[in-house]
Structure 1
């Protein structure tokens, strides 16, 4: 029996294929739902987060897959893929742990404190990945995490303004609680 080295090109190619499949699958679901909602307008977004209502609780899990328009989805797709992949570089298991934490933090925060209306979109998760990647360097203090944090800060640093209530119709609460969830995930996972 032979053991494959993690630096083996076959292993790296296999991991990269699984990263593409996971991120592509998640984004594919978002796009399929957006297309279906375009055909039957308004049918999907009712599953978003409706703050402080019992029916709105389901949106905590569903809202990241729902988007109010194609422009909304396009603006979330690239950062979701890029930041999600940066999170996934360490391990797929860590990606799913971070995703679950930020999805719940963002969703519960919006449900508890969000402004009235239906909140949808993957930006809470995107901000969670952003918070995770920035703060992981602080908690871990490894060369890799510091380099990744610097790269993310340079590329996506302006995202930080999205946690403030600067635009009507934008769920800044989702951004804020997603970011906080990402910082929590970084602290929790670096302690393991």
Structure 2
């Protein structure tokens, strides 16, 4: 229940921000991730909240609702930690490699791209859900990962270059951050398995 409300609130916030952006003639979109520019680092905080128009936001809505809700099933604390890792590390990765493959129409002109949209976060959630069960070794989480892979696995093609105007760099960095987040938040289960292998006592929650 709390997870569903949290995700609905987050997506509703995206729509409110896009409405404000439209009123401001899309000036907010300039606050995305601008790779290798110092002031572009602020975009790491704002980019997942910004979209390049209603079609962009609508395309991200259903995946955000579905994958975001599934993320909360692992527990709200883990959802918050994993989302923070994906948000920051995925954004930082995009800031570092976001200009790779950018088209420069004139020689000698430095390419600068501007990355916005929740898709990097969504790719992070997707990757997290696919691998988390294999880290935690919980059957139901493995089942969730397999189902998510079956339903959304084709989306992972978005991590490779190909579609002009689509931030494959953001998708790739988000996915990598999602795998890392799954490893980090599965720490208690991994430690418990290690203790069982060495014959030590299983951790007892306080």
TM-score, normalised on structure 1?
Answer: 0.88
**Is 1:141–2:127 an aligned residue pair?**
no
Q: Distance in 2 between matches of 1:66 and 1:87?
A: 21
Equivalent in the alignment of 2:204: none
Separation (CA, whole Å) in 1 of partners of 2:26 and 2:34: 14
Which residue matches 2:172?
A: 176
Counterpart of 1:120 (choices 113, 116, 125) is: 116
Q: Supply the RMSD in Å over aligned alpha carbons.
A: 1.0
Partner SS, residue 86 of structure 1? helix
Give the equivalent residue in structure 1 for 2:154: 158
- CA distance, structure 1, for counterparts of residue 54 and residue 14 of structure 2: 10
Tell me, in whole angstroms, the C-alpha distance in 2 between the residues paired with 1:32 and 1:84.
Answer: 18
Shift of 1:160: 1.0
Deviation of 1:117 (Å): 1.6
Shift in Å at residue 33 of structure 1?
A: 1.1
Per mean C-alpha deviation after superposition, the further-off stretch among 133-142 and 167-176 is 133-142
Of 101, 115, 122, 2:85 maps to 101
Runs ≥4 residues deviating over 3 A: none
Separation in 1 of the partners of 2:20 and 2:138? 44
Deviations along 1:12-57, whole A, 9 cap, x unmatched? Answer: xxxx1x2232112211111111111112212111111111111111
1:74 aligns with 2:70: no
Larger CA Rg, structure 1 vs 2? 2
1:87-122 Cα deviation digits (max 9, x unpaired): 101211111111101111211011111022211000
